[in-house]
Structure 1
Amino acid sequence: MGARITNVLITFDTESILNDYKNLSRDPKNPTPISAKYIYMVTNGANAISGQAGGELNLKASVNDVIRWREATLTLSSDDSALMYAFVPTGGANLISPPQALLSTVTVPVPNPSNLTTPNFETIKDFFWNSIALDTGRVTYHFHFMITDRYGQVKGYCKWDPYITISN
C-alpha cells in the first residue's frame, strides 16, 4: 500500500476566542496561548487515535504519509477569519518533513440561486500546510494563527499545541 494523504480540518471558534481573550497579542512573534476548547480538529475516522473534533487530535500516520492541515472558522469567514501562519515543532521535529504552507488553485461549486440543483463554479485559492511523515514516534507542535475581522484587520495572534503519532 502506498502513501496516503491525511487531511485535517481545523475549525476555530473565533467569536468565543475574541469574547474570552480581551487582550490577544498584536505581535506575530509572541502569540497568545489559546485553550484547545476553542479549536475543533477533524480527520477521517480511521486516522484519529483520540480527540476527534477536539483541540487535541491525536492523529495516526504511517511513514511516507502526507499530512495536510486546513483551517476554517465556525462562520466560514463571514464574520472573522483564522489564518495559520507558523508551524513550530516542540518535540519530534525530525519525524516529519518541515511543514510547508502551500497555495493551489481549485474549482469549487457554489449555489446557483435560480437553480439549486445546478451549481455554478468558481476558481479560488486553496491554502493548506503540507508535511510528510518520515519516522515513527510522536510529534508535538504549535500552530500559530491570526484572527482577522471581515475588514481584514488583525484582531490578534494566537497559538495552541496539538500532536501527531506516527506508527507503522
Structure 2
Amino acid sequence: MGTSKIIDVLIALDVEEILKNYPSLSQSKEQPTLLTNAVDCIYMLTTRANAVYGYGPNQGGAQGEGGNDLNVKASVNDSIRWRTVSLTDTAEYTCFLYEYKLLSSSIGKDLLGKKTYETANVSEPYPVEGWPEVMQVQREPRADFKARATVLNAGSEIYYFYVAIYDNLGHLKGYIRWDPRLTVSG
C-alpha cells in the first residue's frame, strides 16, 4: 500500500471584480450569491507536479490550474488542503471557504470525503522599514485557516464551492458560490 500525500490548493479571489459585478452579495450563508461567470474572478492554483494538463477547451494546453476549474493528480486517500485568499491579500478583504457540495455526478460517487477545518496560529515574517536596503524582517502572529478533504474516488465532477468574504475590519461583505469542475486523475 502506497503512502498518501497532501495536495495544497490556493483559491485566489478577485474580490474587487466580484463586488463590481455583484454589488449586493447575499447575506445568507445558506443562499450565497451564485457567480455565473467566475472565470474572471476566481483562480484555483496548485503545483505543476499536482496539476493535470490536457483537459479543457484547449486540449493539450495548460488547463490544470489557474482557472476557476481544477484538474489535479491525486490518489484515493490523498488529502487536499484548500486555502482562500483575496488578490488584495488581507489589506482589503479576507475570504474563507466554508462549504463545498457535489452538484452533479457522472460516476454516482463523490470525489471528496467529509471536510474538516483547521486553524493554526503561526508567526509570519514581514519586511521592516527600509527594505530592501536593510534586508531584515520582523514577525507578527496570524491565523492560517484551511479546509481539508480526503480523496475518495477518481473522476470529474461539478461542485458548488461556498466562500464568505469579509472586509479588513472583519465586516461581512457577503457569501458567494460558484460551480467549478474538479477532476481527480489518479
TM over 0.5: yes
Percent of counterpart pairs with the same letter?
A: 36
Deviates more, 1:158-167 or 1:123-132: 158-167
The 1:68–1:148 alpha-carbon spacing in structure 2 relative to 1, beyond 3 Å, is: same
Q: Unaligned regions of 5+ residues in structure 2, if any? A: 53-62
Aligned-pair CA distance for 1:167: 3.2
Alignment of 1:57-136 (within 5 A): 57-91=70-104, 94-113=110-129, 116-136=134-154
SS of equivalent to 2:24 = coil
Determine helix, strand or coil for the equivalent of 1:95: coil
Matched, 1:15 2:38: no
Higher strand residue share: 1
Aligned-pair CA distance for 1:126: 0.8
> Contact 1:95 / 1:136 at 8 angstroms: preserved in 2?
yes
TM-score (norm 1): 0.88
Task: Tell me the secondary structure at the aligned position of residue 19 of structure 2.
Answer: helix
Whole-angstrom distance in 2 between the partners of 1:4 and 1:54: 23
Indicate if the aligned counterparts of 2:70 and 2:183 stay in contact, CA closer than 8 A: no
Query: Is the 8 Å Cα contact of residues 76 and 151 (structure 2) preserved in structure 1?
Result: yes
Contact 2:72 2:185 in 1 (8 A): no
Letter in 1 for 2:124: V
Give structure 1 stretches of 5+ with no counterpart: none
Please give the TM-score of this superposition, normalised by the length of structure 2.
Answer: 0.80
Kindly report the root-mean-square deviation, in angstroms, between the aligned alpha carbons of the 2 structures: 2.0
Give the aligned length: 168
Give 1:53 shift: 1.2
